[in-house]
Each structure stands twice: as structure tokens, then as C-alpha cells.
Structure 1
């Protein structure tokens, strides 16, 4: 599936079968796996019955889809998925993830909620947190799941104090952007008598409470530290309380105009600013990659282990690189088969040019899809496999030439064979007539175009087969003296030797061309490898630049919010990133100001 056009309604992606027992729905997984486009993943979390599903339906361009429910009972269980064509990013699929409500009294299981929250963070490129009323201490306490993430997710598989110290500093590489939606907001956006924006309202709410215990301030600190951007939207109540139960059946004209405008502003922002899901190093995830991540995370949770992001990326790289290898080989085969109808090629150069064009397409595809192939294992394997496939097509090209030339000789020599069978050449002067007719046949053979590169070999095989017949005709020709017969034998042997020499020269020329092509392929391989390494290095430099920018912003936000200790720790992380930047710049030959 290239887009979400085949998914008319949501489907449960991760089923919450029993208490803390998650299962990936295979039907949804298959739909996701069929998406070859980059995916922009927007997940929404929040307390149950706060209108999360309504916002997700609006993002899908619908008023229905995700169940809204009209009772105090939570409608959404597990994590539901809806894949739709992205409305403003052509060639991308928008994947909407609606999660079951946090704090559902029917579950009575905070650990279940913590895993739902963690999965939403891990799978999304934009995380929407939905709450009701205001952003106050109670709202922050309901967001305590963010403080537990470091206990449920680890970045690297290494152990020890160094890992513990640096673990959360890498979360920004993996974590989504953060949007807080405040529903049924009735306050005036003012602070100390001055009007403020929604974002300023959020940042003020994330300030440290000097009178509070550290645990009370931990959600604010984690939001500022973990997520790489922070956005806020406030919504008035959409309609009267009595009409809320029918919200999905109401037209926009029946809703509060302010709410309609706020919902449109929210959707426009998400469409424009939510980025495709990417992994550290800049690899863009498609539906198949997202499905693999979901399955791997769920397998880790079910086994009781803590998901390791670094290992998840490496595992995905193995799958993606294997897939990139097979797709590149299939692409080469498809390209070559498009040319196979024109086999045989007239020259070796013509065949090698077809191979070169097909190989370049395959290599470009592989380079675009593969990532973290640090040992070049898959690229080396691709070069070897392409070489083997080239040999196969070369053999088919030779066979096509051989078959065509044999059929042509059979046709052109039919009259000669008939006269041999009728004994026409056994009369006096028959040898001279035979040579004349044989040359006529050879001339007609060479006059026929597009015989391919086995032209001389097939002809030589035919003429060698007729050497015995020619010798018998020569000896039977009473018009020739013995001396003339000996001279004719010598001439015939010289012609055969010259043909052998031509064939040897031609085969040596083909071998030389193959060796030149092998050298070209090696040089091309080295060139593309260098380009890939430079591209990866530049991508890492850009990612580090982005991360430095985000951490500088987070540092300022933490200082403004009063989290001085965390801000000081960020300064060390920023300096480490700057050191990495200069090291990477020198190795890649780039200049970073």
C-alpha cells in the first residue's frame, strides 16, 4: 500500500488483551508493513474520556472513525491506528495512533498505563498530551508517566555509572516533539495582567515550584529535558454539555465557532510541523520499519526486558539492509529483463553498457535504503551478487547469439547441404564449385545483421564440421593435380588457423573488456562508498547541530523554569556534542562555523 487510501477506518494495532499483556494485531501489522512511504506518526495520550479521539478524527479529516463514546466508560483499548494520505506532504503517510485512556478505573493498573504512554513516545514523531481544564499541579501529577520513562526505556546496552549518567541525555535523539492540548479551557490567557500566548502559558506552567518537593517538579523537568519541542493549544468546550454525547454527529456549524477555529489551527500546525519518524543518524522510517519497531517493543515488554533503543535501531538496520539488498537485486534483474528481449547484443560493449545502467540503478536504490552498514557487509554482498547475476545474463546473451547463429547457418547452408548430398561436388572441378558455394553461404551469413558476439565461433564450428567433406571433395576432384591438391590443403588449413586466431583475439578482447568493467565496478563501488560515508557523516553533523540547538533551547527553558542543576548538566552535554561536531567536521572535510 503506497498510502492510506485502503484504510477507510481505524484498526487496533496493539491489543491490550489482559492486564499488561500486549499483542500486535496481525491484520494492522500487515497494513502497516505494506506502506513503503515515509510515515509521520502522531500519537495522542491522556486521561480517559477527555476527547482524544475527536482530535484524531479531525486530523484524519473525518468526524467519525475513532470511537468517541458518550459514557463514563473508556472506549479505546490498547493502541488504535489509522493510516491516511498526508494532506500536505505528498509521498508521505500520516499514521494516527489513539491510545486507551490513562487512569481508567476499570483497569486499576498504573503499570499498564505507563507502558501505553511509553509505547506512544517510542512509536511517534509527535506526541499529543490531552488534558481537561487547566495546566496545574494536578494536571502535572497526572503526567507522572513521563517521569517513569527512564526506568522503562534504555538508550544503550552498556552498563555502569557512565551509562546511567548519559542515558537520559540521548532521549532527545529518539523522542518525539511534544504538544499539550488543554480541553474545556475557561481561563483568560493572562499572567500578571499581561496577555500571553498558549506557548507562554505552557512554559510558565512548567516552571519549578520552589516550595514543592523534587518529585512534584519532576514531570516539568522531564518534559523540558526529554522532548525536543513544546507546543500548547487550548480549546473551549465544543458545545453544550447535553450535546457532547452526540459530538461526532454534529456539523461544524453546530459547534462553538471558537472551538472550530482552535481545532483547525491545531490540525494545520500538526500537518505543517510534524516530521516523518526518523532514527538517530537520520534514517527515515516507513510503514514496514514502524511495524518492526512496534513488534520489537512489544516482544521486549512481553519478555519482561527493558527495550533498548540502540539495539532496536541495530535490529531494524539488519532487516532494512537485508531488504535493501534484495530490492536492489530485484531491481537489477527487472532492468536487465527489460533489455533481454533485445538479446543478443551485437557487441560486448553494448551488453556491458546495459549492465552498467542497470547496476547503477540498483546501487542507487541500495544506498538510499540502507543505513548503519558500518562494516559495508551488505554493500560488499550486493557487489558480489550483482557480479553473479551479470554473469548469468551474459551467458543468456551468449546463448541467444549461439542459437540465432546456428539457426541462420542452418538456413543459409541448406542449398550447400543439398548439393553435397546429391554428390554434385564429386565431379571434376567440384572442389572449385564447392569453395565458391561455401563462400556464397558465408557471405550471406555475414550479410545478416544482429547475430551477436558468438558470430565467429558458431561459423568456425560449422566450417570445422565440413573439413572432412571438403577434404573428400578435394581428393575426388580429378581436374586437379596432386601438387594442386596439396596447395589447396595448405590454404584450407591456413584459413582455419586464421579463423581460430580471430576467435582467440575476439575472446581475449571480451576478457579484456570484462576486466575493464570489473575495474570500473570496483572504482564505482569505492566512489559510492565514499559518498555514502560522507553523506552519513554530514547527516550526523546536521543531527548534532540540531541536537545542540535543541539542548541550548532546553537549557534556556530549564534555567527560566528554575531547574539550574539540570541546566548545568546540559551544558556539559552541549560541550560534548560540540567536540563531536568538530571531530566529525575534520574527518568529513566540512567546515562548521
Structure 2
């Protein structure tokens, strides 16, 4: 136990906060919430696991080894210091003892030794140890319950090493914030990739209306926000969530434009197929005769009906038809003007009818633009509410996690205070009591800047 003196240097070699606590709380209180279980593995153990003539467990042996001595001289202080630190930093402690793995003659051949040649006691002890490690050890986490996987561990190690190289104390809070920048940027990318993949899979362009496209967009957007929330943490002032929101709007608008472009292209091809023969008849002079104008209108109306009945045109169907007719206005005007079967009065009436139809089409276009604007504004509000909803839910979970960590620290400190009192270390207990009161005054806050 005395060889574990390095634990006394933990707070001298690493800090948990970038700034010191204002209320004088010992920095160790911040470490306790996410430090791992202390596992003491003793090899070639030859002592009897007993105390006062009674058998004890390996864990009880560890706790007895952490018992403090009374006194204030340097020798006792040196004895107590590593034990106090272990008790202070590691609330969960386990001990495993291992007999010699084999007879003395086999010890130099352990790497190639068959399992049946190993000591039965040793094999049993190893099985107990590995069972605990694989089934009971907690996943490595950072403050706030952030799970550390391989890539995150790599980023943390690089951050710590760079801090040490620069002569600074590695700071866990700064390391986590650096990690958050990397992870949150990646979380935005994951969310956008999910959105694009799902939209490409589930949306068949062109849609008949903008509402149809937005109705498909909405649940996929919700999923994308969920992907971001799952993979992000410590997004201060929701910087990355706002970035996600901006990118989702841009991606949505890109799909809206693509939807219109696909629809326009399909309608253009359809108009050419349907009205091509009519254009050819015009070129051949089929309608350049008395009564030709009304014959042309009749043919045009029949083809227009055929066009309107064709499926899969998309939301640009009316707009493309309008543009097509506008491009052919000179043809109709020429046929009207040269049709000798019509009186001047009849021609004037027809001109007024065409103007009325044009005005009506313009009004419909304005109405459609207004509906499009209203739909996009409605979607913007729903998107905002979805962001707020998921952010609120995530913040509530994080707050619950912080409260749990907070209570865990207090519980550990109270247990340690009780042990110190039982062992008669009133001064240490008094210091711990002051620390507990300081910790209790700190409550996890729920700070949020809405998007």
C-alpha cells in the first residue's frame, strides 16, 4: 500500500476545473464523480486472509489496509497520506489476491505453460477476477455521464499530452470541452448524412404538392435532430445545434428546389410530346383558313385536358403549362387576327376573354406563392419547436445525471466522514464535514440559451 504514494500527487498533476472553486470545495470532490473503481490486484499472495483469528474477504483485507494511524509525526503522516487519498478519490474499491500460478519449476515458463499445469487456486482466482472486470466494471465516463469510447479516449490522451508538453497542468474540464468541439462537429455531420440518406430513400420526386414534400421532411428532420442529440454533449449556447438547424434548412430548401426542377423537366418533356403535333399542324397551315382560330382553340383545349390528366407531373404542372401557353401567344394572336370568319367585334371579345384568363392565372400564381410562403413559415415554427423539445428533454436528462453525480459525491463523503469518526480522526472528519456542506450548497443548474 505504501508504494501507491503517487495517488497523493493526483491534484498536483491534474485538475478537474479550469478555474478554482469559488466556495473552497476541494478539487477531489469533482474527481470522485467519474473516477473508476479502485482494483487492487495482489500477485503471489502468501498471507492468510484472516483477522483476530477469523477469516476475512479480500475486500475486507483492503479496507483494513486503508486504516489510518493516530499521530502527527512525519512517519505517521507519510503512512496515512496515500490511504487518505485512496479513500478520498475512489469510493468504490475491490481487492483480488492471486496465489503463485504454478510450482516453482514452472515459473520461468509461464508464457508457454498449459492451463492444466497451472495451480487450481490460481485459475479459480483469475476466473473470479476476469468475471468481475468483464461484468461489473463501469464504462469509463467523464463528468456528466459522457461515455468514453475509443476515438474519444484518443482525443483525450492527445489533449493531456499536449498540455503536459507545454508545461501546463492537464485540465479535465478543458479536455472535455476540446473533445466536445470535435464530437459535436462530427454529430452535425452524422445528422446531416442521416437526413440526406433518408430523404433520398423515402422521397419520390417530384411530389404533387409542397405540403407532401414537407410532410415527408418533418419526421426525417426529427430523426436527424435525435442523431445529433445522441452524439453531442456540452454544446455551449447551442452553437452546434444552431449550425445543424441552418444546415437542415439549407438541405430542405435544396430538396424543394430539386423537386421543382424535376417537376419542370418532366412537364417540359410532357408538353413537347402532347403539343408537338399541334405545333406541326400550325407550321403546315392547318389552321390558316376561315374558322381556323376556333378549330385551333378546340384542339388546344383537348390537348390541355390530356396534359392535366397525365400523372406524375409534380407541383410545377400549372406553372409550366402557363409558361408554355405564354410562349405560344403570338401563334394564337396571328390565327385570331387572320381568321376572316370572325368580325372585328368578335375578335375584340376574344381578346378581352384572353386578358381575363391571363389575369385569373396571375391571381392563382400569387395565391400559390402565398400558400408556399405560409407552408414554409409553418414548417419553420414546427422545426423550431422540435429543436426546443429535444433540447429540453436532453437538458433534463443531463441535469438528472448531474444531480445523481452530486448525490453520489455527498454519499461517499458522508460514508468517509462516518469511518473517520469511528476511527477517532475528528480533525479529518471536521474538514470533510465542511467540504460536504460546501458541496450541498452547489446545485446543478439548468442553463439554456434557446436557439
Is 1:206–1:561's contact at 8 Å kept on the other side of the alignment? no
How much is the aligned-residue C-alpha RMSD, in angstroms? 2.1
CA distance in 1, matches of 2:132, 2:385: 47
Is 1:429–1:477's contact at 8 Å kept on the other side of the alignment? yes
Counterpart pick for 1:169 among 29, 53, 67:
29
Unpaired runs of 5+ residues, structure 2, are none
Aligned residue for 2:125?
A: 262
> 1:186 is paired with a residue of what secondary structure?
coil
Alignment of 1:541-580 (within 5 A): 541-560=403-422, 563-580=425-442
CA distance in 2, matches of 1:160, 1:319: 27
Alignment of 1:511-550 (within 5 A): 511-550=373-412
Aligned residue for 1:204?
A: 64
CA distance in 2, matches of 1:333, 1:515: 22
CA distance in 2, matches of 1:182, 1:223: 16
Aligned residue for 2:93?
A: 230
- The more displaced of 152-161 and 454-463 is 152-161
Deviation at 1:161, TM superposition (A): 9.0
CA distance in 2, matches of 1:268, 1:559: 35
- The more displaced of 312-321 and 417-426 is 312-321
Residue by residue over 1:236-265, the C-alpha shift from the partner in whole angstroms, topping out at 9 and shown as x without a partner, is 111012212221322322111111111000
Counterpart pick for 2:186 among 323, 329, 332:
323
Question: Which has the larger strand fraction?
Answer: 1
Aligned residue for 2:134?
A: 271
Higher RCO, 1 vs 2 (CA within 8 Å, ≥6 residues apart): 2
Aligned residue for 1:358?
A: 220
Is 1:207–1:560's contact at 8 Å kept on the other side of the alignment? no
> 2:40 is paired with a residue of what secondary structure?
strand
Deviation at 1:337, TM superposition (A): 2.4
Q: Taking structure 2 as the reference length, what is the TM-score of the superposition?
A: 0.93
- The more displaced of 183-192 and 454-463 is 183-192
Q: How many residues align?
A: 445
CA distance in 1, matches of 2:418, 2:94: 16
Deviation at 1:471, TM superposition (A): 0.8
Counterpart pick for 1:154 among 5, 12, 15:
15
Rg larger in structure: 2
Deviation at 1:215, TM superposition (A): 1.2
CA distance in 1, matches of 2:355, 2:401: 68
Is 2:191–2:225's contact at 8 Å kept on the other side of the alignment? yes
Residue by residue over 1:181-225, the C-alpha shift from the partner in whole angstroms, topping out at 9 and shown as x without a partner, is 111112221100111111111100110123642012111111110
Question: Which has the larger helix fraction?
Answer: 2
CA distance in 2, matches of 1:272, 1:562: 37
Aligned residue for 1:396?
A: 258
Alignment of 1:342-491 (within 5 A): 342-491=204-353
Is 1:207–1:562's contact at 8 Å kept on the other side of the alignment? no
Deviation at 1:562, TM superposition (A): 5.3
Deviation at 1:563, TM superposition (A): 4.7
CA distance in 2, matches of 1:580, 1:448: 69
Is 1:198–1:234's contact at 8 Å kept on the other side of the alignment? yes
Is 2:293–2:332's contact at 8 Å kept on the other side of the alignment? yes
Aligned residue for 2:152?
A: 289
> 1:213 is paired with a residue of what secondary structure?
helix
Deviation at 1:470, TM superposition (A): 0.3
